[in-house]
Amino acid sequence: GMNAETAVHEYTHLWVRAMRKHNPNAWRSILSLLRKNEDLFNKVKVEMGFDPARHDENDGASEMIARYRGCRSIV
């Protein structure tokens, strides 16, 4: 459901998209840092119904960042 944190969460997805497009080196660095937290990364992928045919690692990373940014707690 939508709540007060929804707008921040969705805006963060836009920020990630801009980062990937305009600063791919920085995005690769961020992605590398996120990979180090494999347990959380995989949990987010499961919760979002990660499907390799529809999603890639960037989608999982975007969701992980958006959840962290848009919520008081990650999980």
Q: Taking 60 as the threshold, does the pLDDT of residue 75 lie above it?
A: no
Question: pLDDT tens digit string along 9-63?
Answer: 899 999 999 999 999 999 999 999 988 888 887 888 788 787 878 888 898 899 8
The 3 state secondary structure assigned to 43-54 is HHHHHCCCCCCC
User: Which of 7 and 22 is assigned the larger pLDDT?
Assistant: 22
CA distance to 21, 53, 63, per residue, from 40 (Å): 25, 21, 11
